[in-house]
Amino acid sequence: MKFSCEKAILQSAVLIAGRVVATKSTISALEGILVEASEDGLCLSGYNLETGIITRVEAQVTQPGSLILSARLFGEIIRKLPDDVITVSTEGNSVHITCGPTSFDIMGSPADEFPELPAVDDGSSVTLTQSALRSMLSQVLFAVSTNESRPIHTGALFEVEDTTLTLVAVDGYRLALRREPFIRKFGMNTFSFVVPGNALTEVERICADSDEEIIVTLGDRHVTFQVGQTLLVSRRLEGEFLNYRQTIPQNNPISLHVDTSMLQLSIDRASLIINDKLKSPLRCKFEDGSLAISSRTAIGSAFDRCPIAGNGQGLEIGFNNRYLMEAVKAAPAQEVRMELGTPTSPCLLLPKEGETDNFLYMILPVRLKAGE
Amino acid sequence: MKFSCEKAILQSAVLIAGRVVATKSTISALEGILVEASEDGLCLSGYNLETGIITRVEAQVTQPGSLILSARLFGEIIRKLPDDVITVSTEGNSVHITCGPTSFDIMGSPADEFPELPAVDDGSSVTLTQSALRSMLSQVLFAVSTNESRPIHTGALFEVEDTTLTLVAVDGYRLALRREPFIRKFGMNTFSFVVPGNALTEVERICADSDEEIIVTLGDRHVTFQVGQTLLVSRRLEGEFLNYRQTIPQNNPISLHVDTSMLQLSIDRASLIINDKLKSPLRCKFEDGSLAISSRTAIGSAFDRCPIAGNGQGLEIGFNNRYLMEAVKAAPAQEVRMELGTPTSPCLLLPKEGETDNFLYMILPVRLKAGE
């Protein structure tokens, strides 16, 4: 194998393919990037047996071939080489990398040791802008469960309907839902699938904040995300995802509006005396025009007041401070509607009346004991 | 105790005094800041039994008193309060902190549990600009020894002479020296002392990049650094500091000039295949107009070439990559003079001919074996 490529191009490709490479594995090939040079250019692949990334770049290939290179070492070398054309040539498993006066000799592994990436048949697909999917993911993934006892909830649900894609994540204590119109779809009229949270974290990273497209294609057991010359392949999670529509309370008697930045500051302050050892719920008392947040632990007590628009009718309700904070932070609006029922029914964060119905966060309350 | 103070003023004072507070100690008072309110304003102290910091700020004191507050918790509370006037009042050991609608109740400890800071008599002193001392420290402290078997070398030597202050740090493998003129001195004509590296790291941090003064005062067993309303007290290290002048080789036969940024890049690249497990010296070959740097470990081999001005006469010499890098990085000049003798004698980094003689870095070589 022998090829030449501009440093910036090669560096960006190694970074992308390297994202899913295992940092430490008993199978050394899994710590590597598969580099394949052919007449069509260069193809770099990383694969951790769950998520794979294949990215293609242009390169001047003078001798086709393939080899596995350590993702860490190859990445470091490329990063530190001068901004110039890099030439990579191999002889057996040894690799010679040169750029200007600088050169490296390192060892690679035979390409056939690289695990085969799953082949994905073309199925139904949905296309969105990268920026839309990126913001949806960033506002939903925090609520993906990390509890392996319900594997299906360690992923996020994609629901493709008439004109919109809905993403949902749940973890037993909360639910996050984001909805956006897509550009186009292909295949079935409605379809849904669940993608592991870890893979989606990588999807979020390969999405730029741009109007360029990302195509999400459903295979039998896998799903692919295509961004320009980069393809991410992930397995799908099998099982029954929560019938989330049934869990969302309707006709909540209390509805009020709150500024999310102000509420974040109040939660932050009232959480100061709570830590991993000294857990305590936030006691939220929704009054007429203001929300009183307080907490009490062995360290001491904290009290803050946040303005609200509306009357909370004196409802006192307890929340896990982290869950409430993460929902308020994720909600994509400066001002949100809060809907509440009783001290034991979930709290909803929603868009203001009359605004696009594109998000919903639900947080289950914590039962308050006297003195908390 | 009861006082009111602007958030920004109190926050900065807590940050400064909190710098030397132990994060975890069996003596809980050492995790605290001593807060003393009097007619003169507020005085905050932190002390870890080695280094102490006392800082004074203006505050409206309505009831004098003193108490120890947890540096971490008090710091966090102040940081997260709104930008407004903060009022702190105590009743016994309980502390009430309010700011606008926000309030906290936490516990403090009686002031008499705070260890007494050493009293330092006024002795000889030297005054220089904060920016001068800060840059001197940043360019010398990396070479302070961490080996406790020679305690005196875990500090840096201050030498006050006719018109200049010289700072020197050594560990067994290298030496860093920085010299700057001071503004004025008081007391003895020449004096010298050794200050622990840890305390000097804090001195570097409390120095701003400004022309304002810092006064360094020598006591019998301690030394103080006075910056505006902040005083840092450190114990002195006792013992015989290396007679460093004798260790610096004179009349080196090889003298050449090198660009420090270019040399850093070359060292960085040649060090890529060296790690904590796979140690290897950098093989430096000084030729006519260029320096060839190479290394070889089980991972592979690296080669780079850096331009130099001068003739290295083919000298081959080995260096620990980290020691060479740290000296080249610290040297305060874009271009430095390198002086070399034999493969077993130290390498010097010095200012170019004709420039102010204000720094000297010395690195001991590593013996090269065949094949390295």
Check CB contact under 8 Å for B103 and A303. Answer: yes
* Cα dihedral B132, B133, B137, B139 in deg (nearest 10): 10
| Closest listed residue to residue B9, CA positions, set B43, B57, B42 | B57
Which chain A residues are within 8 Å of B107, Cβ to Cβ? 299-300
pLDDT tens per residue, range A173-226 = 999 999 999 999 999 999 999 999 999 999 999 999 999 999 999 999 999 999
Partner residue facing A101 (CB), from B76, B81, B305: B305
Nearest chain A CA: its distance from B179 CA (Å): 34
Which chain B residues are within 8 Å of A71, Cβ to Cβ? none
pLDDT reported for residue A369? 82
* Structural domains of chain A, with CATH: 2-113 (3.10.150.10), 125-244 (3.10.150.10), 249-363 (3.10.150.10)
Token output for A238: 């099998």
Terminal CA-CA length for chain B: 68
Q: Which of B76, B79, B81, B272 to mutate to test the interface with A (most CBs of A within 10 A)?
A: B272
Q: Which of A67, A74, A99, A106 to mutate to test the interface with B (most CBs of B within 10 A)?
A: A106
Which chain A residues are within 8 Å of B76, Cβ to Cβ? 272
Token output for B351: 């200012």
C-alpha angle A30-A33-A35 in degrees, rounded to nearest 5:
140
Q: What is the mean pLDDT of residues B126-137?
A: 97
Q: A interface toward B at CB cutoff 8 Å? A: 73, 76-77, 80-82, 101-107, 265, 268-269, 272-273, 299-305
pLDDT reported for residue A233? 97
Partner residue facing A105 (CB), from B77, B301, B305: B301
Partner residue facing B104 (CB), from A107, A265, A302: A302
Which H/E stretch holds residue B263?
helix B260-270
The yes-or-no verdict on residue B305 having pLDDT over 80 is yes
pLDDT tens per residue, range B198-220 = 999 999 999 999 999 999 999 99
Binned at pLDDT 50, 70 and 90, residue B371 comes out as low
Nearest CA in chain A to B307: A101
Residue corresponding to tokens 């309700």: A317
Nearest chain B CA: its distance from A13 CA (Å): 20
Check CB contact under 8 Å for A301 and B265. Answer: no
Check CB contact under 8 Å for A104 and B301. Answer: yes
pLDDT reported for residue B146? 95
Q: Which of B271, B273, B285, B295 to mutate to test the interface with A (most CBs of A within 10 A)?
A: B273
Which chain A residues are within 8 Å of B299, Cβ to Cβ? 73, 106-107
The answer to whether residues B362 and B326 touch, using CB atoms and an 8 Å cutoff, is no
Q: How many CB atoms lie within 10 A of CB A291?
A: 22
The yes-or-no verdict on residue B372 having pLDDT over 70 is no
Which chain A residues are within 8 Å of B103, Cβ to Cβ? 302-304
Check CB contact under 8 Å for A104 and B77. Answer: no
At B113 the three-state DSSP class reads: helix
% of chain B with per-residue pLDDT over 70: 99
Which chain A residues are within 8 Å of B303, Cβ to Cβ? 102-104
pLDDT digit string (tens) for chain A, length 372 residues: 999 999 999 999 999 999 999 888 877 788 999 999 999 999 999 999 999 999 999 999 999 999 999 999 999 999 999 999 999 999 999 999 999 999 999 999 999 999 999 988 878 999 999 999 999 999 999 999 999 999 999 999 999 999 999 999 999 999 999 999 999 999 999 999 999 999 999 999 999 999 999 999 999 999 999 999 999 999 999 999 999 999 999 999 999 999 999 999 999 999 999 998 888 999 999 999 999 999 999 999 999 999 999 999 999 999 999 999 999 999 999 999 999 999 999 999 999 988 999 999 999 999 998 766
Nearest chain A CA: its distance from B275 CA (Å): 11
For B183-217, letters b (16+ CB in 10 Å) and e give: eebeeeeebebbbbbbbbebbbebbeeeeebbbbb
Which chain B residues are within 8 Å of A72, Cβ to Cβ? none
Partner residue facing B106 (CB), from A81, A107, A299: A299
**ipTM confidence:** 0.89
Nearest chain A CA: its distance from B311 CA (Å): 19
Cα–Cα distance measured from residue B344 to residue B252, given in angstroms and rounded to the nearest whole number: 12
Partner residue facing B304 (CB), from A101, A273, A301: A101
pLDDT tens per residue, range A267-309 = 999 999 999 888 899 999 999 999 999 999 999 999 999 999 9
Which chain A residues are within 8 Å of B305, Cβ to Cβ? 101-102
DSSP secondary structure, B153-207, as one string: GGEEEEEE-SSEEEEEEEETTEEEEEEEE-SEEESSSSEEEEEEHHHHHHHHHH-
